[in-house]
């Protein structure tokens, strides 16, 4: 083991086929890729050849965290789970899911930076990691059980301080649209069935160790306080959503929804969020109530408290108590989640009798959370719900199902917005029951293929939000112009990048955003007003590149890219500047590895480059510009009929997008004709071996 | 030098000689008046000259002008604004109001001042500021929330009145596909842009969490 702090120092390897486990030295094997997705991509590159299928025993599933996990760095609770993605269409390729909670920290305290799982157990098992003790246990008693039951059963064995990541029946049944969930509500989408294919029900981790910080204690504490001072609310929104005496600005759409008089109505005692002004760093946890943000103001009265991940003051999960659902639906009155978790149930329905934010919508949220988080069904950033709604209202479901199966669903309940309908639908998806249950669990691409529907047509419907390769857009061109488009082209699932959107939605007025953008990306043209997009500019390519590299850095350090980066802050005296070097400052002090911002960004670029190489190798073509970086038709259309770059139009210009691609590839040192990285670029990042392997298969640009 | 004067009527009015303050025998009175302004600001409220006598406490020195010295509260307030970096006066259609930027930003003070000017002006100026500075329409709902605190039915009535008043003819409404009404100023936002933004803010953004 080296003298570095931050890292636990070992990567745990487990072969479920043989029952053998062993360790590798993290620094020797993986330091150049930090951790998290970096370790994940490196393992996939080294050990999983092209042509491997997601459910092959040879596929790896890598639970990896970074050198900041388990330290006191704010927002360090993310675990990256990397594997071959079963919903990636038409060919499974590498991708990552990300779960919060306490798993990342516990894994580090147990002494590991990652768990690499290969092979396939001969019967259902769960993996127990109790510090250095690693055991594979029989899971037949919990196989077939929901995630909550499995989690409880393992916690009873390992103790209350253990953390459990488990799959539900959906993952066991090899439903591609399935998740793994830690601490019963922190999900990583898309990978449940890969665990299921290995007969791995769950991983329980108990860690009693600690993480060494290389720097001086006082310097570390000072840095943590500084970072905390830069934090805004959820998604680093830096102004409140209502006018408040301390605030110079407000924006009704930010997630800073605390204010004097806002109360957690279901807490044991009266809790008023208060104003939570920027300097009140001990009250950051009160700034956001994500249930109220997503479900509506009536969620305040049902709020018990916030919840979230290790060392994160932004409590992006909200615990709700809705006693009515117990009597009405027979489910627990208390549930917790965030964002898409809250929207899961209600997004299946077009309308509710008492409006979009009434009690029925709230009940649909509770039912959806209860079922999806127990069955382990993934929604693919709500593409499942959008697909379902379109298929039903277009009459496709009726046409494709036999009348017996079609009539087995209570469609009148569905049309009336009755949450009870979810009890008919979701268990059948998890159980692959019937044609509809099976097809919805495939993921959009494979679903369209099975039912003979056109992916191109799917990509024309802007409201469907479908992007490509079986997955939807994730903060793309409609809200972030060319920058959002470029980011969304890069991955093999929805992009999950928040670097750009957290800045664009931070609530600061556009002139201030432009001022900060000029400092960070070289020109104010990097950002446009919403629906007032301007032609491509070099600074937009820089912003897109920066956004992607920060995402990969965060995913590899275990920082949360849903909360960061922190380049804007709520602090007026700083001109609302954040600090673009916070990641490198944390990394340097924690590990003792003397890297500044530029050097650490290069590591992020190396990680991103390896993802691109994996994609090229997996697809067997270097022609990425044509075959991978594909743009759905809705990007170029607008209901207004106006030409692009007029106010109120959100579509882009076809020629301008080609300019955007040129500039973006140039910024990354990639070949403009193919969109593939050049040999020189691989060399620059010490990846000659990767280049050579690709060249051997004619996968390098000429 | 005060840090901001970015609103109509903000800033100093009294131009008394600087030396006057040095010999003034009323420091304790001044301190109490300044303290009242700051306390109200800390509570998120502006203060008018007329409110000060009601807030004057028994243990304070005699209320200004009660001893016949001739300097009334208006004079004291003018001097305080001149002498204290944190104190500001707002004037416009309503009564002059005072606040301390130790506890309240100029932007918030401006909202509270418009509130004091009346609901029509409060709605109009809020909509104009959002359209101009932030390029966004404003959902009607926000006027039901603090610090606006208007009743929804009242808002509808106010908007009806505004439609027949020339001074508000730039304030127009649009609605999202989810039937949420948004207001914007045609002086600062084009119709198509405002409509697109309303749809995004109410519907589109929720589908892009």
Is B134 in Cβ contact with A252 (below 8 Å)?
Answer: no
CA-to-CA distance for A483 and A494, rounded, in angstroms? 15
Is B111 in Cβ contact with A244 (below 8 Å)?
Answer: no
A350 touches chain B (CB under 8 A): no
Is B107 in Cβ contact with A530 (below 8 Å)?
Answer: no
pLDDT of residue B5: 38
pLDDT for A601-659, tens place per residue?
Answer: 999 999 999 999 999 999 999 999 999 999 999 999 998 889 999 999 999 999 999 99
The two three-digit tokens of residue A549, written as one number: 């590299």
CA nearest B107 in A: which residue? A248
Is B147 in Cβ contact with A243 (below 8 Å)?
Answer: yes
Largest CA distance in chain B: 67
- The dihedral through the CA atoms of A535, A538, A543, A545 has a sign that is positive
Quick one: how far is CA B76 from the chain centroid? 21
Q: Which helix (H) or strand (E) holds A15?
A: strand A10-15
Nearest CB to B108: which of A244, A532, A646? A244
Nearest CB to B193: which of A382, A475, A531? A531
Q: Is residue A131 a contact partner of residue A206, using CB atoms and an 8 Å limit? A: yes
Give the gyration radius of chain A's Cα atoms: 24
CA nearest A245 in B: which residue? B104
A303 closest CA partner among A327, A272, A325: A272
Is A648 in Cβ contact with B200 (below 8 Å)?
Answer: no
User: Which CATH class, in words, describes the domain spanning A10-206?
Assistant: alpha beta
Chain B contact set for A356 (CB, 8 A): 178
B108 touches chain A (CB under 8 A): yes
Place of tokens 């999806």: A372
A322 HSE (CA, 13 A, CB side): 27
Burial (CB count within 10 angstroms: exposed 0-12, middle 13-18, buried 19+), residue A22 = exposed
Place of tokens 């099975």: A450
A203 Cβ contact partners less than 8 Å away, ≥ 6 residues apart = A63, A115, A126, A127, A129, A164, A165, A166
A531 touches chain B (CB under 8 A): yes
Number of residues in chain B: 209
pLDDT of residue B69: 60
CA-to-CA distance for A262 and A254, rounded, in angstroms? 15
Mean pLDDT of A508-521: 97
Chain B contact set for A252 (CB, 8 A): 138-139, 142, 201
pLDDT of residue B68: 58
Quick one: how far is CA A132 from the chain centroid? 29
Interface of A with B in 93-112 (CB under 8 A): none
Q: What is the DSSP letter of A269?
A: S
Output the CA–CA distances (angstroms, integers) from residue A237 to A566, A570, B189, in the order listed. 10, 8, 24
Helix (H, G, I), strand (E, B) or coil at A166: strand
Is B207 in Cβ contact with A465 (below 8 Å)?
Answer: yes
Chain A contact set for B178 (CB, 8 A): 356
CA-to-CA distance for A194 and A189, rounded, in angstroms? 11
Residue-averaged pLDDT of chain A: 97
Mean pLDDT of A102-127: 98
Boundaries of every domain in chain B: 20-112, 118-207
Q: Is residue A612 a contact partner of residue A497, using CB atoms and an 8 Å limit? A: no
Strands (E), A271-355: 271-272, 303-307, 317-321, 334-337
CA nearest A647 in B: which residue? B193
Boundaries of every domain in chain A: 10-206, 473-566+575-696
Nearest CA-CA distance, residue B174 and chain A, Å: 14
What angle do helix axes A359-375 and A422-430 make, rounded to 10 degrees? 20
**Torsion region of A111: left, alpha or beta (phi above 0 gives left; psi -120 to 50 gives alpha):** left
The two three-digit tokens of residue A3, written as one number: 């003298």
CA-to-CA distance for A300 and B125, rounded, in angstroms? 30
Q: Is residue A540 a contact partner of residue A525, using CB atoms and an 8 Å limit? A: yes
Place of tokens 């043989």: A18
Output the CA–CA distances (angstroms, integers) from residue A607 to A67, A69, A611, in the order listed. 15, 18, 6
Indicate whether A126 pLDDT > 70: yes
Chain A contact set for B204 (CB, 8 A): 478-479
CA nearest B132 in A: which residue? A509
pLDDT of residue B25: 47
Q: Which helix (H) or strand (E) holds A84?
A: strand A79-84
Q: Which helix (H) or strand (E) holds A626?
A: helix A624-627
CA-to-CA distance for A482 and A533, rounded, in angstroms? 9
Indicate whether A226 pLDDT > 60: yes
Q: Is residue A433 a contact partner of residue A423, using CB atoms and an 8 Å limit? A: no
Mutation target among B46, B193, B197, B205 for the A interface, most CBs of A within 10 A = B193
Q: Is residue A141 a contact partner of residue A120, using CB atoms and an 8 Å limit? A: no
Q: Which helix (H) or strand (E) holds A99?
A: strand A94-99
B177 touches chain A (CB under 8 A): no
B120 touches chain A (CB under 8 A): no
- The dihedral through the CA atoms of B50, B56, B61, B63 has a sign that is positive
Q: What is the DSSP letter of A64?
A: E
The two three-digit tokens of residue A41, written as one number: 């991509």
A647 touches chain B (CB under 8 A): yes
**What is the CATH architecture assignment of B118-207?**
Orthogonal Bundle (1.10)
pLDDT of residue B18: 43
Mean pLDDT of A495-523: 97
Q: Is residue A162 a contact partner of residue A106, using CB atoms and an 8 Å limit? A: yes
CA nearest A464 in B: which residue? B207
pLDDT of residue B66: 58
Nearest CA-CA distance, residue B124 and chain A, Å: 16
Tell me whether the CATH fold assigned to A10-206 matches the one assigned to A473-566+575-696.
Answer: no
Helix (H, G, I), strand (E, B) or coil at A324: helix
Nearest CB to A253: which of B108, B201, B207? B201
pTM: 0.95
Nearest CA-CA distance, residue A248 and chain B, Å: 6
Query: What does DSSP say about strands A114-118 and A163-167: parallel, antiparallel, or unpaired?
Result: unpaired
Strands (E), B75-195: 87-90, 97-100, 138-139, 171-175, 181-185
In A292-301, which positions are buried (b, 16+ CB within 10 angstroms) versus exposed (e)? bbbbbebbbe
CA nearest A530 in B: which residue? B197
Q: Is residue A418 a contact partner of residue A352, using CB atoms and an 8 Å limit? A: no
Q: Is residue A360 a contact partner of residue A353, using CB atoms and an 8 Å limit? A: yes
Mean pLDDT of A563-574: 97
B88 closest CA partner among B78, B43, B30: B78
CATH number of A473-566+575-696: 1.10.599.10
Query: What does DSSP say about strands A114-118 and A61-64: parallel, antiparallel, or unpaired?
Result: antiparallel
Strand partners, A163: A205
Task: With a cut of 70, list the residues of chain B below it in pLDDT.
Answer: 1-27, 65-70
Indicate whether A91 pLDDT > 90: yes
pLDDT of residue B70: 61
Quick one: how far is CA B199 from the chain centroid? 29
Least confident of A156-170, A399-413, B82-96: B82-96
A239 touches chain B (CB under 8 A): no
A465 closest CA partner among A457, A475, A476, A473: A473
Chain B contact set for A249 (CB, 8 A): 107, 134
pLDDT of residue B4: 47
pLDDT of residue B26: 55
Q: Which helix (H) or strand (E) holds B48?
A: strand B47-48
Strands (E), A74-192: 79-84, 94-99, 114-118, 125-130, 133-138, 163-167, 179-182, 186-189
A420 touches chain B (CB under 8 A): no
A249 touches chain B (CB under 8 A): yes
A80 closest CA partner among A613, A488, A554: A554
Number of residues in chain A: 702
pLDDT of residue B9: 41
pLDDT of residue B23: 44
Is A529 in Cβ contact with B135 (below 8 Å)?
Answer: yes
Interface of B with A in 142-171 (CB under 8 A): 142, 145-147
pLDDT of residue B67: 58
- If one counts every other C-beta atom within 10 angstroms of the C-beta of residue A599, the result is 13
Burial (CB count within 10 angstroms: exposed 0-12, middle 13-18, buried 19+), residue B50 = exposed
Nearest CB to A245: which of B103, B192, B201? B103
A642 touches chain B (CB under 8 A): yes
Taking one residue from A and the other from B, the number of pairs with CB-CB distance under 8 angstroms is: 96
Q: Which helix (H) or strand (E) holds A263?
A: strand A263-264
B197 touches chain A (CB under 8 A): yes
């Amino acid at each position: 083991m080296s003298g570095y702090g931050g890292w636990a120092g070992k990567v745990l390897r487990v072969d479920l086929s043989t029952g053998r486990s062993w360790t590798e030295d993290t620094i020797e094997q993986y330091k150049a890729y930090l951790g998290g997705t970096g370790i994940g991509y490196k393992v996939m590159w080294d050990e999983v050849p092209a042509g491997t299928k997601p459910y092959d025993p040879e596929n790896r599933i890598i639970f990896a965290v970074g050198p900041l996990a388990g330290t006191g760095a704010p927002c360090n609770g993310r675990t990256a789970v990397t594997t071959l993605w079963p919903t990636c269409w038409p060919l499974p390729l590498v991708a990552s899911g990300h779960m919060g909670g306490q798993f990342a920290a516990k894994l580090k305290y147990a002494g590991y930076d990652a768990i690499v799982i290969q092979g396939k157990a001969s019967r259902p098992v769960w993996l127990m990691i109790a510090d250095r003790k690693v055991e594979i246990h029989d899971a037949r008693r919990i196989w077939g059980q929901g995630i909550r039951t499995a989690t409880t059963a393992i916690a009873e064995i390992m103790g209350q301080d253990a953390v459990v990541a488990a799959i539900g029946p959906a993952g066991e049944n090899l439903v591609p649209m399935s998740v793994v969930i830690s601490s019963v509500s922190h999900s990583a989408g898309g990978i449940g069935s890969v665990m299921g294919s290995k007969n791995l029900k769950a991983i329980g981790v108990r860690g009693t160790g600690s993480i060494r910080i290389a720097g001086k204690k006082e310097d570390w504490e000072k840095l943590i306080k500084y970072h905390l001072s830069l934090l805004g609310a959820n998604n680093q929104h830096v102004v409140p959503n209502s006018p408040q005496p301390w605030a110079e600005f407000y924006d009704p759409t930010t997630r800073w929804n605390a204010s004097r008089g806002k109360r957690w109505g279901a807490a044991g005692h009266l809790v008023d969020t208060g104003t939570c002004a920027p300097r009140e760093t001990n009250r950051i946890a009160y700034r956001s109530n994500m249930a109220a943000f997503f479900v509506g103001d009536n969620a305040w009265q049902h709020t018990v408290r916030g919840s979230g991940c290790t060392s994160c003051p932004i409590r992006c999960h909200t615990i709700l108590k809705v006693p009515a659902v117990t009597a009405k639906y027979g489910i627990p009155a208390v549930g917790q989640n965030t964002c898409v978790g809250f929207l899961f149930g209600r997004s299946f329905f077009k309308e509710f009798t008492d409006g979009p934010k009434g009690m029925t919508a709230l009940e649909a949220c509770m039912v959806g959370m209860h079922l999806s988080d127990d069955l382990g069904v993934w929604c693919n950033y709500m593409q499942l719900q959008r697909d379902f709604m379109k298929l039903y209202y277009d009459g496709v479901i009726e046409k494709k199902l036999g009348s017996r199966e079609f009539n087995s669903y209570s469609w009148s309940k569905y049309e009336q917005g009755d949450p009870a309908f979810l009890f008919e639908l979701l268990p059948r998806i998890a159980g692959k029951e019937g044609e509809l249950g099976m097809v919805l669990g495939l993921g959009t691409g494979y679903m369209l293929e099975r039912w003979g529907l056109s992916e191109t047509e799917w990509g024309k419907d802007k409201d469907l939000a479908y992007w490509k390769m079986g997955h939807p857009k994730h903060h793309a061109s409609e809200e972030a112009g060319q920058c959002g488009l470029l980011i969304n082209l890069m991955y093999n699932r929805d992009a999950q990048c928040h670097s750009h959107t957290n800045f664009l939605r931070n609530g600061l007025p556009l002139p201030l955003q432009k001022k900060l953008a000029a400092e960070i990306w070289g020109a104010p043209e990097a950002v446009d007003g919403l629906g007032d997009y301007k032609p491509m500019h070099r600074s937009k390519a820089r912003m897109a590149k920066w956004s992607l590299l920060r995402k990969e850095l965060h995913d590899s350090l275990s920082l949360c890219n849903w909360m960061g980066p922190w380049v804007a802050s709520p602090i007026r005296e700083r001109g609302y500047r954040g600090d673009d070097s916070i990641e490198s400052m944390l990394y340097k002090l924690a590990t003792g590895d003397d890297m500044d911002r530029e050097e650490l960004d290069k590591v992020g670029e190396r990680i991103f480059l390896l993802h691109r190489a994996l994609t090229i190798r997996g697809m067997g073509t270097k022609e990425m510009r044509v075959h991978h970086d594909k743009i759905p038709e809705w990007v170029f259309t607008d209901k207004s009929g106006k030409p692009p770059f007029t106010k109120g139009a959100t579509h882009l210009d076809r020629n301008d997008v080609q300019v955007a691609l040129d500039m973006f590839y140039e910024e990354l040192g990639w070949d403009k004709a193919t969109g593939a990285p050049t040999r020189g670029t691989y060399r620059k990042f010490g990846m000659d071996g990767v280049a050579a392997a690709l060249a051997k298969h004619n996968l390098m640009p000429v | 030098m005060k840090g901001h004067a970015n609103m109509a009527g903000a800033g100093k009015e009294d131009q008394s000689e600087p030396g006057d303050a040095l010999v003034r025998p009323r420091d304790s009175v001044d301190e109490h008046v300044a303290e009242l302004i700051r306390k109200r600001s800390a509570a998120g409220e502006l203060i008018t000259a007329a409110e000060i006598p009601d807030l004057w406490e028994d243990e304070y020195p005699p209320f200004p002008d009660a001893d016949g010295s001739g300097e009334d509260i208006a004079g004291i307030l003018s001097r305080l604004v001149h002498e204290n970096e944190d104190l500001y006066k707002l004037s416009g259609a309503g009564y002059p109001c005072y606040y301390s930027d130790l506890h309240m930003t100029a932007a918030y003070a401006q909202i509270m001042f418009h509130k004091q000017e009346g609901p029509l002006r409060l709605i109009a100026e809020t909509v104009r500021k959002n359209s101009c500075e932030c390029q966004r329409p404003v959902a009607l709902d926000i006027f039901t929330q603090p610090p606006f605190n208007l009743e929804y039915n009242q808002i509808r009535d106010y908007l009806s009145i505004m439609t027949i008043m020339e001074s508000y003819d730039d304030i127009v409404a649009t609605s999202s596909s989810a039937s949420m009404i948004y207001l914007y100023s045609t002086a600062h936002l084009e119709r198509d842009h405002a409509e697109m933004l309303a749809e995004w803010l109410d519907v589109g953004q929720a589908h892009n969490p």
